[in-house]
Structure 1
């Protein structure tokens, strides 16, 4: 009976119904009511009935989207009050057209068909009421009276049915939108499934090989420990290096689950200069400070995370920044890398600062490699700060993340 409707939409409907009442009720009273009053009904009673009918019909418009079925019943009650007061068609009856539109556009299946039946029945009732309250219809003879009645009924049904047809058209538009949205979701789900299949294939080709090496080396170290401790030590070193490489590959695959990547090599910190050159071409000068420098080759997953975070931060600076300079600081410490990006912003809030997809993506990318990222204003600057753990992996001169 009652549809979910936002408070803003309901308030707008109520305001619209009030405006409708304020405009058409005085018009009906001044220009139409005196001439349409039945001779058997006192004028005061007729005008009072008009006001009551106007309140009911405009009230039905106010709840037309919220409860189309209830609105239709209230509109019928208003029409009955209007006829009981001896009143013919009035400008305020425009509200009934709005209610019929609502039944077709937003009503349930039962209310939808009830609106169509109401358009036909209402047209016939209106024609019959006008015919019997106006004695001139019967003074021209039966054939002329029947022809006039049929024409009047046809015009009444057409007038009431037109808004219902308009609502039916909008109902079809809403269904088409829902169908398109469902189709889009299905296409996204299919694409995601294909991406998972690709990542599963990478997992088998890359990570499974690393795990097989670890198992073989660990078995060899266990058997050689008693006779040749040096062989066991070398095997443990191989296991450690292979495990770190496999961990970097796993993090890369997890990153791809969230951020769709191509099949080719992924960008590394060696590609940052090319990124900075693209930023300079866009009119923004990146001032880069790297202190200290990387002590070795960082894992591929960490390099990709640094690259993507800087890429998104610089993109935001180009789109929303007020200055022409962006300060970038990279600190490659023993156990972590710290990234900081600062740029001037306009007095208005930065678009997406409280939940844009780009900032959410940067934060999730940092979390996937075990780090953290924060964003926010600092005076007249917008600051992106990230901390990504490295551990002992930077000591190993391997970077397998770009091969995943």
Structure 2
């Protein structure tokens, strides 16, 4: 069902204000000018009508081209005054034009046309007195009350009308300026909000990428190590091969569970999906057991009186230890060993991973990306991480402030 006719008409008028000005300002004033003709006969009267019609018709563009309307009114009004004609009702275009220029033109033009309007009021008064004089009347025959009325009607009222038109136009300009400022501020806030959303999305993608890197890299390293060991052990010790397969299966299930827990939080809330909590410092024992099952000898020492860490900071400790042990399995060689120590530090928690053993070549594809990722994790939580080679292996030391702040 379409909109009612009066609603469509209102919307059309709002979008085409020149139609409103044509119907309710320009057309009535032109009609008044034609019906209420000037008092001068001959060519002078024709010129007066032409000037008044042009002055009135210019109001059609008073909103879209206010300065054009203003200068047309100034020019035609000046020419009309030169004919020494009696003031005409169509001269109401003067205050209307002052209002239009003040409301829709640049601000400085409003004051300029206010001055022009005041001058026009004086000319209006002079025209009245001139007509009064030409008509043969004498001031001695005019009473004080009549003279006062003439002054008020011919001078004070036009000046007050022009000033009022300028005031209303200035108020309108201020409202338009405030609305424009609000619109610009809202647009700026919207752009800032979009940028914040984009940055948050980028940060979330990087976090997910780091998580997936840690989970998949560690799990695949364990699986590959166990698969290689199980393949050789199957010839001489079937039970060892079974153990390797069990470790592969357990590692795969754990990796799958971690991935589900990580990706589950991205789903919409209220779907009823249960997600497993992210691992923390207390889960280092399970991590070390899996690494031992993969063939790397690891010792873990966790102090019982660790400062409190936020869950995200505990996850960072877990992932950094996991990444360091994964690198040891990949690059440490067959005789590699590792010692993990988590204890209180001067400003929070200190985690050290000391590995021994070194492979003949550690230039595996992507070497260095894991260390950079560990440093980024530490930096996110306000901590620091150092990773450097030692005479016997490699040292990774993580420091995180208390409460993950």
TM-score for both structures, normalised by structure 2: 0.48
Greater relative contact order (Cα < 8 A, sep 6+): 1
Flag the structure with larger Rg: 2
TM-score (norm: length of structure 1) = 0.48
